[in-house]
Amino acid sequence: MSNKITGLFSDYVAGRMSRRELMIRAGQLGLGAAASAMLLNQAQTKAMAANFDWKKENGKAINLLLNKHPYTDSLLMQIENFKQLTGLKVTYDVFPEDVYFDKVTTALSSKSSGYDAFMTGAYQTWQYGPAGWLVDLNEFIKDPAATAPDWNVGDILPGLLHSDAWSGVPGEVLGGPNAKQWALPWGFELNSIAYNKRMFEQAKVDPPKNLPDLIEKAVKLQTDIKGIYGIGVRGSRSWATIHPGYLSGLTSYGGSDFTVENGQLKSAVNSPQCKAFTKLWIEMIQKAGPKNWTNFTWYEVGNGLGAGASAMIFDADILGFFQQKGTKEAGNIGYEGFAANPDKKEPTPNVWIWSLAINAASNNKPAAWLLLQWAAATQPTLFGATKADLVDPVRQSVWDDKGFQDRLKEKYAGYLEQYTASAPGSKIYFTPQPLFFNLTTEWAASLQKMYANEVSVDEGLDKLAESVMGQLRDAGIVK
């Protein structure tokens, strides 16, 4: 029986049978859709082995450090296939996101070989890379012996791949000529609007076109509908407050964190564009934001939308994606790409990229690379995107995949459109420099002060710029 089944799927993978036919035959063998999917996945994994020796590290063992996250769930669902494919022993440590990066930083700083590969964000690599804790993945990507010919790095969205590559020279553009590929994009989030259709219909407004429009509509929404607030955005005293909506909007208004003049970083947080935008931003929150904005993290923003406390959010698209299931407002969530600047049509969303990286102290780098390569390969990514929540996937081919598109159309109406609108302009808009967290944390703190009217926007941003330059000087980054 089992041979019959596996035979069936390998036939399909080998192209000796149509997908329709496969599903019928599978049905006859009494397999549910889910089960068939697993088997198909297995068969396809085997197929990967056809033209590349995945078994070259056979018998070795690798240990992973992972963050509790839907992406991780998707990886672990398929991990058995990877073991079969490579003959590697795989163990893993999963830590809650609240404490995950504390664990990563300490583990890496101890230079122990305990973990071979781990999850990281792109911003963290700006610390880990220069610290010498990461491996330049180009060694492997560019080495035909190490990477499967059909792996097709070109299929990974270039903006993301570049965002994970940096030369280590402060201010030098991401993915530049002598950039090192510190990490491999695995799944990502871009920032756009997710809104509550029910409320929008009730208040007879359609999705906002730009920031002034958004403020207006947000105010209307919360005056028309009792007990809600117009717009949810993050506001806690953390770097995480800056990178989603705020920086995306700032970019749209032509602002940036730094300007680079002949190789020298110069803080631009107090540029006219930046001040103009920040004034609007603070106004937006004061007029239509949540009461306890300064406590707002990813979770409060999400809960607000999901539980119908907020009419819309300007944050990661997948945050809206998650609210579409199992929440009070499930099914009412709509998605919209967003360009804050009235004079701009194309959204310029900043992105967060969950990536995989290899510990420089690892003793099994080639084995670790096999895992990275596999995790970001077309097939497991597709599986994750369709059968789990590896959304947004980093491969163009997956976005083009009919199955994935169907899934989105079915349950997440408007998500695909939102993505297509946002994707072209989406990348990391921060200037890479190792004091990223110092800057953004302080930035968040001063936004909070402006919100409480303790300082004016102008004064706050001037102070911030000053302090940032001071720290860059102390660190010897600028003269």
- Residues 479, 475: Cα–Cα separation, whole Å: 10
Nearer to other proteins (CB atom), residue 81 or residue 251: 81
Residue 45 Cβ vs other proteins, minimum distance, rounded to whole Å = 20
Residue 125 Cβ vs other proteins, minimum distance, rounded to whole Å = 11
Residue 143 Cβ vs other proteins, minimum distance, rounded to whole Å = 27
Residue 363 Cβ vs other proteins, minimum distance, rounded to whole Å = 14
Nearer to other proteins (CB atom), residue 70 or residue 254: 70
Residue 382 Cβ vs other proteins, minimum distance, rounded to whole Å = 16
Nearer to other proteins (CB atom), residue 18 or residue 91: 91
Nearer to other proteins (CB atom), residue 260 or residue 445: 445
Residue 85 Cβ vs other proteins, minimum distance, rounded to whole Å = 22
Residue 228 Cβ vs other proteins, minimum distance, rounded to whole Å = 8
Residue 173 Cβ vs other proteins, minimum distance, rounded to whole Å = 19
- Residues 342, 212: Cα–Cα separation, whole Å: 8
Nearer to other proteins (CB atom), residue 109 or residue 202: 109
Nearer to other proteins (CB atom), residue 110 or residue 363: 110
Nearer to other proteins (CB atom), residue 245 or residue 425: 245
Nearer to other proteins (CB atom), residue 77 or residue 173: 77
